[in-house]
Amino acid sequence: MTRNNDISIVIVDDLQFNRIVVKTALKKAGYDGVRLAESATQALAMLAEQPADVVLADWMMPEMDGLEMTDRIRQKDEEAGTYTAIILFTANESIDLLVKAFEHGVDDYLRKPPNPHELAARVNAAARIAIMQNDMLETSRQLQDTIRNLEEVAMIDPLTGAGNKRFLNSQLKSRILQASSRNEGVCLAILEIDQLSQIRQEQGLDIANEILIGMQRRLRRSIRPTDAVARLESDHFAVLMHFTDMNNYKPSSIERLRDSINQRPFKTSANDLKISASIGAKYYRGDEEILSVKEMLKKTFNKLEEATSMGHNSIAY
């Protein structure tokens, strides 16, 4: 349970007498972490240096009033992912003005001059709200970090549903070992979508994402169920093909992959787009010296560079 002397409070009032009166009342109630500011500008500087659980401020102040200060604090909270409870002192009991204050994000108000017992009780309630909100925000941040970590170790690309780089590395390693021990074959093809960068620039990210999703579906339909599709980077896909007889691989299998991409335009929510891909492919025979995953990827990317240098829709084996 949070103790009063653990709670950080900032009192904002342009009149020194009012600041001292409020600080004294809070001190008697056991609140030691109290800072004083003679203006909203000074208070904001204090909060930037060290956040507070509760801000107590006069509504009417020169240069910047309590409502404008509240707007600034809420903006700071939004950017920092924190919450600061705000209580305004006011001599005005107009319902309309109080509604306006709550709409600006004020948590509570106290009539001037505040009753010391009511002041301590309201500060205690406001501090509990701030601490609870900040605990929830911290929990949310931790969940987001956990989700990001899970995405990193997961095997699926969240946009396309294809495997990701981790998936490909795992599959490639096991396939190469299997091919080496059984005299089988493994073909890795890496595709770069030729037009995607231009589409992303001219038609936006959403249309480019539709192309990526469509590409995964088209590649998946064009290969065997035992083969694998993975998305490596923004514009790159990989297709991993396994051959139980290492002599069964033929370059025409890569050409068929290209033909399936070129088969028809890709439908998007904007228009139909004709897409092509440059492809680099490396075939590993199980009777060759075994390759590492890193070596296999490097050789395939080298072939992809060779293909892209020849122009759109090219293949390098």
DSSP string, 103-124: HTT--EEEESSPPHHHHHHHHH
How high is the mean pLDDT of the chain? Answer: 92
Q: How confident is the model at residue 15 (pLDDT cuts 50, 70, 90)?
A: very high
Strands 185-193 and 228-233: unpaired
User: Hey, what CATH class is 4-151 in?
Assistant: alpha beta
Q: How confident is the model at residue 151 (pLDDT cuts 50, 70, 90)?
A: low
pLDDT tens sequence across 232-288: 988 899 999 999 999 999 999 999 999 999 989 999 999 999 999 999 999 999 999
Q: How much of the chain exceeds pLDDT 90, in percent?
A: 79
The token duo for 113 is: 């001059």
The token duo for 235 is: 């514009």
pLDDT tens sequence across 51-63: 999 999 999 999 8
Residue 5 has pLDDT above 80, yes or no: no
pTM score, whole prediction = 0.55
Strands 108-111 and 236-243: unpaired
Strands 266-267 and 272-273: antiparallel
Q: By mean pLDDT, which of 65-69, 147-151, 211-215 is the weakest? A: 147-151
Residue 295 has pLDDT above 50, yes or no: yes
pLDDT score, position 152? 63
The reply to whether 4-151 and 165-316 are identical in fold is no
Instruction: Compute the distance between CA of residue 26 and CA of residue 293 in angstroms, rounded to an integer.
Output: 66
Report yes or no: 171 and 293 within 8 Å, Cβ to Cβ.
Answer: no
Mean per-residue pLDDT, 128-140: 91
pLDDT score, position 1? 45
Instruction: Give me the amino acid identity at 111.
Output: R
Mean per-residue pLDDT, 294-306: 97
The CATH number of 165-316, from 1.20.120.720, 3.90.1150.10, 3.90.650.10, 3.30.70.270, is: 3.30.70.270
Instruction: Identify any residues that bridge with 190 across adjacent strands, giving them in sequence order.
Output: 238, 280
Residue 141 has pLDDT above 90, yes or no: no
Within 10 A of 314 (CB to CB), how many other CB atoms are there? 18
pLDDT score, position 2? 52
pLDDT tens sequence across 162-177: 999 999 999 999 999 9
Domain boundaries, the chain: 4-151, 165-316
Instruction: Give me the amino acid identity at 179.
Output: A
pLDDT score, position 147? 75
Residue 215 has pLDDT above 90, yes or no: yes
